Amino acid sequence: MSDEAATVLGIDIGGTKMAAAIVSADGEILTKDLIRTPRGGADQVFAALAELVGRVQGDLHPAAVGIGSAGPLDQQHGLVSPVNIAGWRNFPLVDRVRTLVGDVPVTLGVDGHCFALGEYWTGAGRNVDTLLGIVVSTGVGAGIVVDGKPLLGQSGNAAHLGHVVVDLDGEPCACGSYGCVETYASGPRMVARAKRRGWRAHEDVDAAVLSADAAAGDEIALAMFDDGAQALAAGIVATAVTVDLTTVVIGGGVAKAGPVLFDPVQRWVKRLAQLPFVTDLTVEPAQLDNAGLLGAARLGWDSLQASTGVRVAGVAEVNALS
Ligand SMILES: [Zn+2]
């Protein structure tokens, strides 16, 4: 295998869209395409993915594949059951992707982990070794990179920051617990809470409208972003003092609200992060549009290095750390 010519295929599986890209060893996307995630049975959804992968691969033969998928997933057995892809329940995604790419390493990871890994590789975290990445959208996903490697945990599901309890008297959460970060900070939950207080109570509106109203000074909308920011900050600081990190990157649809979200998050983080090793905690917006896709490709590069022992320029620092 020639290092110069080697490429990896990254795949990003979400409930709304599926994306695939051929990525070089220094994190450059060579070709990329995406499709809307189809509704339908297991094989129908996979056929659409197979067609996408075929188109992106063309005549190339990637040396490894990395897949980031919405959870939950069973990393050990390569199975995925994305909440928003009803046709896939314990779907053997890794084995099925193997039928498309031949005998190369195929690695599966949680989408939030891939987001953090992508921002660590070429985005807002490229100058640090350890960071927390958070995706705030219809849910709150996250990933933690420690010393250049994604923190997986016992079952591969580490960093479920959206389900850190921040309010002991809080509302029920979809996970079965209550008072989770997600009950305050996800887009749909912020909208639902705002409506209960009379904001656009009878309109069909989403978090983008809420953020526009907050930016225009609407008091209820601003209060919802402040509540969401406080919950996020509590989750961030809990993670920072547990893992010992000072770099946080936030992306996702709700993060597109910009200062409406980031200003109160930074204010609350400053208030809550008091131990000396976290007082420098910084929270910044994601820099990449494709962090999840790049992070998936990075999983592929890391597994390639681990299985072949071949050092690849651009990702070699991971070997230096291991
Ligand atoms: Zn929860």
What confidence tens digit (pLDDT) does each residue in 188-218 have? Answer: 999 999 999 999 999 999 999 999 999 999 9
Rounded distance between C-alpha atoms, residue 29 and residue 233, angstroms: 33
Are 90 and 104 within 8 A, CB to CB? no
Residue 317: which pLDDT band, with cuts at 50, 70 and 90? low
Mean pLDDT of 102-129: 95
Asked if 221 and 209 count as a contact pair (C-beta separation under 8 A), the reply is no
Ligand 1 geometric centre to CA of 97 (Å): 31
Q: Cα(163) to centroid of ligand 1, in Å?
A: 4
pLDDT confidence of residue 315: 60
Expressed in angstroms and rounded, the spacing between residue 161 Cα and the centre of ligand 1 is: 9
Round the average pLDDT of the chain to a whole number and report it.
93
Q: How far is the CA of 6 from the centre of ligand 1 (A)?
A: 41
pLDDT for the residue 321 = 42
Confidence of residue 115 (pLDDT cuts 50, 70, 90): very high
Residue 227 C-alpha to ligand 1 middle, in angstroms? Answer: 16
Q: Which domains does the chain have, with CATH numbers?
A: 7-110+289-321 (3.30.420.40), 124-285 (3.30.420.40)
pLDDT tens digits, 55-76: 999 999 999 999 999 988 999 9
Check residue 322 and give its pLDDT.
36
C-alpha to C-alpha distance for 37 and 52, rounded to whole angstroms: 11
Specify the pLDDT at position 217.
97
Residue 167 scores a pLDDT above 90: yes
Q: Contact at 8 Å (CB) between 20 and 10?
A: yes
pLDDT at 156 over 90: no
* Residue ranges near ligand 1 (ion) with Cβ within 5 Å: 163, 173, 175, 177, 180
Question: Residue 176 C-alpha to ligand 1 middle, in angstroms?
Answer: 6
Compute how many other C-beta atoms are within 10 angstroms of the C-beta atom of residue 50.
15
Q: Which residue has the higher pLDDT, 263 or 83?
A: 263
Q: Provide φ and ψ at 173, rounded to 5°.
A: -110, 155
Taking the centre of ligand 1 as the mean of its atom positions, its distance from the CA of residue 300, in whole angstroms, is 30
Percent of the chain residues past pLDDT 90, beyond the cut = 86
Residue 155: pLDDT band by 50, 70, 90 thresholds? confident
Cα of 190 to ligand 1 centre, how many Å? 15
How far is the centre of ligand 1, averaged over its atoms, from the C-alpha of 171 (Å)? 10
Burial of 200 (0-12, 13-18, 19+ CB in 10 A): middle
Q: What is the pLDDT of residue 311?
A: 65
Query: Which band of pLDDT confidence, cut at 50, 70 and 90, is reported for residue 4?
Result: very low
What's the gap in Å between 128 CA and the centre of ligand 1?
Answer: 30
| Tens of pLDDT, residues 248-262 | 999 999 999 999 999
CA of 230 to the centre of ligand 1 (A): 16
Q: 183 pLDDT exceeds 70?
A: yes
Model pTM greater than 0.85?
A: yes
For residue 249, how far is its CA from the centre of ligand 1 (angstroms)? Answer: 21
Distance between Cα 175 and ligand 1 center (Å):
4
Rounded to whole angstroms, the Cα distance separating 21 from 12 reads: 9
**pLDDT for the residue 131:** 97
**d(CA 319, ligand 1 centre) in Å:** 36
Query: According to the model, what pLDDT value does residue 84 have?
Result: 85
- Secondary structure of the chain as H, E, C letters: CCCCCCCEEEEEECCCEEEEEEECCCCCEEEEEEEECCCCCHHHHHHHHHHHHHHHHCCCCCCEEEEEECCCEECCCCEECCCCCCCCCCECHHHHHHHHHCCCCEEEEEHHHHHHHHHHHHCCCCCCCCEEEEEECCCEEEEEEECCEECCCCCCCCCCHHHCECCCCCCECCCCCECEHHHHHCHHHHHHHHHHCCCCCCCCCCHHHHHHHHHCCCHHHHHHHHHHHHHHHHHHHHHHHHHCCCEEEEECHHHHHCHHHHHHHHHHHHHHCCCHHHCCCEEEECCCCCHHHHHHHHHHHHHHHHHHCCCCCCCHHHHHHC
Taking the centre of ligand 1 as the mean of its atom positions, its distance from the CA of residue 214, in whole angstroms, is 25
The number of beta carbons lying within 10 Å of the beta carbon of residue 212 is: 14
Confidence class for position 319, pLDDT limits 50, 70, 90: very low
